[in-house]
Amino acid sequence: MADKYDVIVIGGGPAGLTAAIYALRANKSVLVIEKGNAGGQMNFSPCIENYPGFTKISGLELADKFVEHVLDQGGNMEIEEVLSVTDTEGGKLVKTDFGEHIGKAVVVATGARHRLLGVPGEDALLGKGISFCAVCDGAFYAGKHVAVVGGGNSALQEALLLADQCSKVTILQNLEDFTGEQKLVELYRSKGNTEAFFGVTVSGFSQNAHTVDVKVKNIATDEEEVRSFDGVFIAIGLIPESGPVKDVVETDKYGTIVSDEKCLTKDPAIFVAGDCRTKNVRQISTACADGATAALAACRYIDANA
Ligand SMILES: Cc1cc2nc3c(=O)[nH]c(=O)nc-3n(C[C@H](O)[C@H](O)[C@H](O)COP(=O)(O)OP(=O)(O)OC[C@H]3O[C@@H](n4cnc5c(N)ncnc54)[C@H](O)[C@@H]3O)c2cc1C
């Protein structure tokens, strides 16, 4: 028999955990279902310096504080992977790899994962020389030489931000030109401390004392060389984790879930919060804002349909 809750939150990152706190404080019963480590992407950030209230905190520590807050308010958490969300009597049937749960409303807060290159050495250096987030980690490389892998808008934006604080920025792009907006390209080229290599792929990483060694392969000639940087930022896109609900909500061309300002999807009982939602700024503070909005909208939906 499936257990029943007012609100089921899918995903235990900052968006989902904030949604849980708000729903619990509205006296709703809440289950948070998390497939991995609660805290989500925060767990990959060695030092967060832009979350209000903490001048400096490790992602792991902040994640612990979020979880503690949810448990303190009486929230339930299960480590399971949600596979699907369908209609059932009395609400939504949430099927996981472990069982079934029923919620009167569902908040989808499954986040997004950064697309990886999938080359040797990458996993081991994540957060230790390889980063995905110039806003978050750029300051660690002030005055240093960094590489940005990618050539689209997000790579250019990362590179521009880094160019303002690093001594040099090198873009490594597999295509023959940038694929981002012309204005960003012009701005990048106008900086005195930037360069770009086109038609190259990154085929591996290794750590050498204080630098990251990057194996760079010329696609045309197949020649491989090793270039050293103080840090590497990978900006080849985000993959939204909308899989379990993609058939019941509307997604845009990137796979992110479309919602209105109340975080409501096209299904009146399904709300969305955080990085898996179509929006411009993907940060912890914006994920929390979505979590609060989605939870309160879900509570209003439940009360109106009681
Ligand atoms: C290296 C790094 C550093 C960063 N540094 C900063 C920073 O300094 N400041 C800042 O503001 N932002 C930073 N960010 C961005 C920030 O972490 C994200 O914007 C934020 O975590 C998004 O929150 P979320 O809850 O929407 O998603 P996520 O954090 O992605 O959490 C989603 C959760 O849902 C779970 N999930 C996914 N699918 C399922 C499923 N089917 N079933 C169950 N659970 C599921 C995932 O396991 C995950 O735990 C950083 C990101 C990275 C990767």
Domains, the chain, ordered by start:
3-113+238-304 (3.50.50.60), 116-234 (3.50.50.60)
Which DSSP string corresponds to 33-81? EESS-TTGGGGG-S-B--STT-SSB-HHHHHHHHHHHHHHTT-EEEE--
Residue-averaged pLDDT of the chain? 95
For 199-212, the pLDDT digits (tens) are 999 999 999 888 99
10-21 b/e (C-beta count within 10 Å ≥ 16 → b): bbbbbbbbbbbb
66 CB within 6 A, ligand 1:
no
Residue of minimum CA distance from atom 4 in ligand 1: 45
Mean pLDDT for the stretch of residues 155-175: 95
pTM metric for this prediction: 0.83
pLDDT tens string 5-54? 999 999 999 999 999 999 999 999 999 999 999 999 888 777 788 899 99
Distance 167 CA to ligand 1 centre (A): 30
Q: Is 257 in the pocket of ligand 1 (CB under 6 A)?
A: no
- Confidence tier at 135 by pLDDT (50, 70, 90): confident
Output the CA 275–ligand 1 centroid distance in Å. 7
pLDDT of residue 92: 98
